[in-house]
Structure 1
Amino acid sequence: MATVLVIGASRGIGLELVRQYRAAGDRVIATARDDEGMTRLRELGAEPLRIDVAQPASVSGLAWQLDGEEIDVALYVAGVIDRGHATTPPTQSAFDHVMHTNVLGLMQVLPQVMPMVEATGGVFGALSSSMSQIGPVPGSNSWLYRVSKAALNMAVRSARFDYPKARLVVLDPGWVQTDMGGESAPVTVEDSVYGLRRVLASLGADDNGCLIHHDGRRAASW
């Protein structure tokens, strides 16, 4: 039985990760920011922790809540989107909300969690997006979101050098039928998570620091 940590698990992909890992018989520790999310996690048999990744003071308490744990799989799933184009500058509040949730939260989590992941020789995966890739970018839609996920990629790819006993990867869940992706998205949340779990279970040494799609494809360009 593996110990799995899911950060940002109250809905969507995070909640489905909890559901599938629990169904596989794994122990799951999962975070949510409100009572409703905590209740959903308990109902699935997870051990809930209250964390709001957009609030640095909240994230700073993660290490003591996890004191003594050894983690086989850790996942940073929390994320928000802003759909503005480059024709309009983002407001400070929008910038802070997106960057705090998508980037600062991750960068606070990594130093707290990675020693626990290294203790098992485990893996840390951060959810990114194909929209983070600079080479093939097709337009400016959701440009703040694109910038935040490109920054997340760099944070993970850089951090791997400080934690050689573990593997760190960036994961693209695909365009998924969630609140963020919309009902017209081509990938169900169940299929996305099933693919992500297969990817995490099959990582090799050469995958460390890489961006990997939910269907197993390794990103050719960033």
Structure 2
Amino acid sequence: MRALIIGATRGIGLGLTQRYLADGWHVTATARREADLPQLQSLGAKPLKLDVTLPSSIMSMEWVLAGEQYDLVIYVAGILSRGPATAVPTQAEFDLVMHTNVLGMMQLLPCLAPKLANQHGKWIAISSGMGSIAEAQSSANWLYRVSKAALNMAIRSAAFDYPAVTFAALCPGWVKTDMGGPQATLEVADSVQGLRQVIAGLSLADSGCYKNHLGHSLSW
């Protein structure tokens, strides 16, 4: 089995890379910086440099991955923007968050989804409960919320055009990572274990879904 994990150098991305390697998968793992590639290679992954904020880097995937087929693609790349709705984001901040969390995946999709279709594979985007409009209870991290809601819509929409691929937006829970902070309630290993089980259980009937790491459906 072959997986491509986009954004694999830390936190949940690194945890997923380690887990799939331990399960015997062949994993291609991406890093934004050249300096992070040796770390991925030392784990046993095939390292690949990819900056999802750069169209030129995304376009290069057409020939870098020519002939490759995958059973699973996981888009983990994402950054957090803090502040409530009273804090106006700058254009630079908005562009960085939206490019990393949403546009990067949307630009990669036409290149990579066909590599899954032949395998009847799965495309997973790591989302967040903060992307739920129905369950929003504050404006905390509002730009991040907006980006994850947009990511959810991208996943839901893509399912219509790639009927042979299973798409899912998955919330990993509140995890002790650089983004989640030390006060979070989940260890990386626990989140990854849950995500792994949910991903394994997904079928085409679930395509376009929005779930958490326990497999519970979330409100859009």
Q: TM-score range by the shorter chain?
A: over 0.9
Question: 1:65 maps to which residue?
Answer: 64
Question: 1:128 maps to which residue?
Answer: 127
Residue identity in the other structure for 1:10: T
TM-score for both structures, normalised by structure 2? 0.98
Question: 2:83 maps to which residue?
Answer: 84
Question: 1:43 maps to which residue?
Answer: 42
Q: CA RMSD in A?
A: 0.8
For residue 101 of structure 1, give the secondary structure of its aligned residue in structure 2: helix
For residue 68 of structure 2, give the secondary structure of its aligned residue in structure 1: coil
Aligned residues: 220
Distance 1:52 1:192 in 2: 25
Question: 2:16 maps to which residue?
Answer: 17
Residue 66 of structure 1: CA displacement? 1.0
In 2, are the aligned partners of 1:11 and 1:37 still within 8 Å (CA)?
Answer: no
Residue 34 of structure 1: CA displacement? 1.0
For residue 13 of structure 1, give the secondary structure of its aligned residue in structure 2: helix
> How do 1:78-117 residues align onto structure 2 when only pairs under 5 Å count?
78-117=77-116
Q: Would you say 1:6 and 2:10 are equivalent positions?
A: no
For residue 145 of structure 2, give the secondary structure of its aligned residue in structure 1: helix
Distance 2:120 2:50 in 1: 25
Distance 1:206 1:14 in 2: 26
In 1, are the aligned partners of 2:174 and 2:185 still within 8 Å (CA)?
Answer: yes
Distance 2:14 2:100 in 1: 17
Question: 1:74 maps to which residue?
Answer: 73
For residue 179 of structure 1, give the secondary structure of its aligned residue in structure 2: coil
Distance 2:5 2:174 in 1: 20
In 1, are the aligned partners of 2:82 and 2:144 still within 8 Å (CA)?
Answer: yes
State which drifts further: 4-13 or 50-59: 50-59
For residues 30-70 of structure 1, what are the alpha-carbon distances to aligned partners after superposition, in whole Å with 9 as ceiling and x for unaligned?
10011332111001100011001111221121121111111
TM-score for both structures, normalised by structure 1? 0.97
In 2, are the aligned partners of 1:81 and 1:145 still within 8 Å (CA)?
Answer: yes
Residue identity in the other structure for 1:24: D
In 1, are the aligned partners of 2:164 and 2:204 still within 8 Å (CA)?
Answer: no
Residue identity in the other structure for 1:80: I
Distance 1:86 1:191 in 2: 32
Distance 2:157 2:36 in 1: 32
In 2, are the aligned partners of 1:156 and 1:169 still within 8 Å (CA)?
Answer: yes
Distance 1:84 1:92 in 2: 15
For residue 39 of structure 1, give the secondary structure of its aligned residue in structure 2: helix
Question: 1:176 maps to which residue?
Answer: 175
In 2, are the aligned partners of 1:157 and 1:168 still within 8 Å (CA)?
Answer: yes
Distance 2:32 2:87 in 1: 30
Percent of aligned positions that are identical: 52
Distance 2:121 2:170 in 1: 16
